C-alpha cells in the first residue's frame, strides 16, 4: 500500500486529543486506585498509572519534535478533557455512595472507557506513522512502537478485570486474576481466546 500525504491539521488535532487523554487518564487511574478493593487490581492500575505518565512524556517529546505547543486548546481537546472529568466525577459519586464493591465496578468501567479512547488514539498515530507520507511519520511510528504493547495491556486486561468482577458480584464463579492477565494477553485475538478459555480455567481452579 503506497504512502499518502496526510491531513496535517487533523493530525495535530489527533495529537492534542491524545495528549489530553493521557493527562486525564492519569487522574482517572489515581481515582480508580482509590476505588480498587482487589489488591491485585490495585497493583495493576498503579503500574498502568506509571506507564500512562510515561506515555504523556513520550507525546510531549513528539510535540517538541514536530514544533507543536502542548498548551494549545481545540474544541475536540476540550471535549476530551470534559469526558475525563466526567469519568472521575462518576467514580467519586460511586465511592461516596458507600458501597466499595459497586465503586470498584464503576472504576473498572471508567478505566475501560478511558482506555478505549486512549488505545484508539495510539492506533491512529501508528497508522499515520505506517501509511502516511511526510516528515512526521518516523517520529509518530517510533512513539507508537514504544507504547504499543502497554496500550494493548491497559485496555484488554482492564476489560477482563471488569468482566470478572461483575461476574463475581453476580454470585457466579469468576476467574480472578482474569484469563487475560494469566495468559499475558497483548492482542485482541489473544483476549478473545483467553475469554473463551475461562470455563476450562474455572474447572482447573486456575
CATH number, domain of 82, equals 1.20.1260.10
Q: Within a domain: residue 201?
A: no
Q: What residue numbers bound the domain in which 44 lies?
A: 8-172
Q: Within a domain: residue 206?
A: no
Q: Within a domain: residue 182?
A: no
C-alpha distances (whole Å) from 58 to each of 15, 18, 48 are 12, 11, 15
Q: Within a domain: residue 177?
A: no
**How buried is 142 (Cβ within 10 angstroms: 0-12 exposed, 13-18 middle, 19+ buried)?**
middle
Tell me the pLDDT of the chain (206 aa) as tens digits. Answer: 568 889 999 999 999 999 999 999 999 999 999 999 999 999 999 999 999 999 999 999 999 999 999 999 999 999 999 999 999 999 999 999 999 999 999 999 999 999 999 999 999 999 999 999 988 999 999 999 999 999 999 999 999 999 999 999 999 999 999 988 876 656 655 556 666 666 677 766 54
Q: Check residue 138 and give its pLDDT.
A: 96
Q: Within a domain: residue 22?
A: yes
185, 150 Cβ separation under 8 angstroms: no
Q: Within a domain: residue 205?
A: no
177, 198 Cβ separation under 8 angstroms: no
Helix (H), strand (E) at residue 165: helix 137-169
CA dihedral 197, 198, 200, 206 (to 10 degrees): 120
Q: Within a domain: residue 25?
A: yes
Looking at the 3D structure of the chain, how many domains does it have? 1
How many CB atoms neighbour CB 41 within 10 A? 27
191, 160 Cβ separation under 8 angstroms: yes
Beta bridge partners of 122: none
Q: Within a domain: residue 102?
A: yes
Amino acid at each position: 500500500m503506497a504512502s499518502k500525504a496526510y491531513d496535517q491539521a487533523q493530525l495535530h488535532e489527533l495529537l492534542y486529543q491524545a495528549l489530553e487523554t493521557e493527562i486525564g487518564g492519569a487522574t482517572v487511574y489515581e481515582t480508580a486506585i482509590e476505588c480498587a478493593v482487589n489488591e491485585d487490581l490495585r497493583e495493576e492500575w498503579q503500574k498502568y498509572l506509571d506507564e500512562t505518565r510515561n506515555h504523556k512524556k513520550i507525546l510531549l517529546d513528539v510535540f517538541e519534535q514536530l514544533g507543536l505547543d502542548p498548551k494549545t486548546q481545540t474544541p475536540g481537546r476540550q471535549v476530551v478533557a470534559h469526558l475525563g472529568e466526567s469519568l472521575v466525577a462518576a467514580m467519586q459519586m460511586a465511592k461516596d455512595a458507600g458501597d466499595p464493591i459497586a465503586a470498584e465496578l464503576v472504576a473498572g468501567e471508567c478505566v475501560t472507557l478511558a482506555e478505549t479512547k486512549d488505545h484508539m488514539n495510539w492506533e491512529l498515530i501508528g497508522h499515520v506513522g505506517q501509511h502516511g507520507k511526510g516528515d512526521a511519520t518516523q517520529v509518530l511510528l517510533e512513539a507508537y512502537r514504544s507504547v504499543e504493547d502497554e496500550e494493548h495491556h491497559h485496555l484488554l486486561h482492564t476489560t477482563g478485570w471488569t468482566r470478572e468482577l461483575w461476574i463475581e458480584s453476580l454470585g457466579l464463579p469468576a476467574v480472578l486474576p482474569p484469563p487475560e492477565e494469566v495468559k499475558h494477553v497483548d492482542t485482541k485475538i489473544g483476549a478473545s481466546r483467553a475469554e473463551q478459555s475461562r470455563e476450562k480455567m474455572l474447572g482447573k481452579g486456575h
